[in-house]
Amino acid sequence: MNMTNTGLPMGAETIAPGRTPRLCICVPTYKRPIGLARLLRSIDQLRFERVGEPAIEVIVVDNDPEASAATTCAELTHTSRWPIVYAPEPRRGIAFARNAAVRTAQSGGAELIAFIDDDEVPEPTWLDELLAAMGEYQADFVAGPVLPTFEGHVPGWILKGKFFERPRHPTGTRLEQAATCNVLLRTRVFYELGHGFDEGLGLAGGEDTDFSLRAWHAGCVIVWADAAIAHEWNPVSRARTAWLLRRAYAVGNNWGAFDQRLHPRFRGAMRGLAKGLVSLPASVVRGRHSIVQSLQLVAVGVGYLAARAGFRFPAYRHTDGH
């Protein structure tokens, strides 16, 4: 197992008993003023029942060169329960925004960082559950579920296909990777790895998978907290075949771009591609949701092969994906 600079294994270092930890809730944002305001107001409703309330600061990293989030932050800072720090990062790309959030948190002496997206709303016990799981399992990362909510009516085949539902696990389950749309981690992980999110990925995304896989390989303990729930507000524009296939292609493209050095998925991607092609004719009988599910398997495999051939897909070029 890899050791920290303190001589302790990853996950063993704890915050001194009786001392209030400093925690930053980091929110990368890009041209979502309504969603950002909804999120910031919901953060005010957090409550702590299982652990003591930490010293919280909210960091909003504006990835829009036109600084569109500045007004929202200024309007809410006077009524916010906790300080809001506005940090512009004009270089376009989610990795740039996440790294700017980490630098801002580090400069303020934060020991813990929670990431949540600007199209999400956490339940009041969200952070309480993440902190409780981190302490109970001596984890470096704790990830929680993101449940889908739609901003309007969506077709029945979307719900039947469960396209926006993500895997869940029992609390305490060990993971090899974690998304940063709902995660708590120790700030020192960034020091241990030597660098943060890979800015070379540009608008392609996948920086959170890459980062967490590197952390896992370095010996970090990543666990699941199933009660640490956030809700994602999906615009109706996502509930269509083109968006779903584009997302599936982007997932496969990210797998092929970086995981050969971390967590090879070639066999899985190729099995999915073959399964999608084989199941496609029968899916016509089962309905549209089944057709799209088969096409998604194909799209993941094609995206993977495209990345191995050197073609990268700029998934975050579209504001809907940021």
Check residue 3 and give its pLDDT: 34
Q: Answer yes or no: are the C-beta atoms of 40 and 78 closer than 8 Å.
A: no
pLDDT computed for residue 165 by the predictor: 94
Q: What is the pLDDT of residues 208-240, one digit of tens each?
A: 888 998 899 899 999 999 999 999 999 999 999
The pLDDT value given to residue 2:
39
For residue 164, the model assigns a pLDDT of 95
The residue whose two tokens read 């919901």 is: 42
> What pLDDT does 125 receive?
98
What is the average per-residue pLDDT within 154-160?
Answer: 96
pLDDT tens-digit readout, 118-128: 999 999 999 99
d(CA 35, CA 39): 6
Q: How far apart are CA 300 and CA 245, in angstroms?
A: 8
Please state which CATH class domain 22-238 belongs to: alpha beta
What pLDDT is attached to residue 262? 55
* pLDDT computed for residue 305 by the predictor: 85
157 residue type, one letter: W
Q: Which of 176-180, 185-189, 263-267 has the least mean pLDDT? A: 263-267
pLDDT digits (tens, 9 = 90+) for 127-156: 999 999 999 999 999 999 999 999 999 999
What is the spatial distance between Cα 220 and Cα 134, in angstroms, rounded to a whole number? 12
Residue 4 has pLDDT above 50, yes or no: no
What would the DSSP string read from start to end of 282-308? HHHHH-HHHHHHHHHHHHHHHHHHHHH
Q: What percent of the chain has pLDDT over 70?
A: 87
Q: Where are the domains of the chain?
A: 22-238, 241-321
Check whether 253 has a pLDDT greater than 90: no
Q: Residue 17's pLDDT is what?
A: 55
- 245 has a pLDDT exceeding 50: yes
Q: Look at residue 321 in the predicted model and tell me its pLDDT.
A: 40
pLDDT over threshold 60, residue 249? yes
**For residue 143, what is the enclosing H or E element?**
strand 141-143
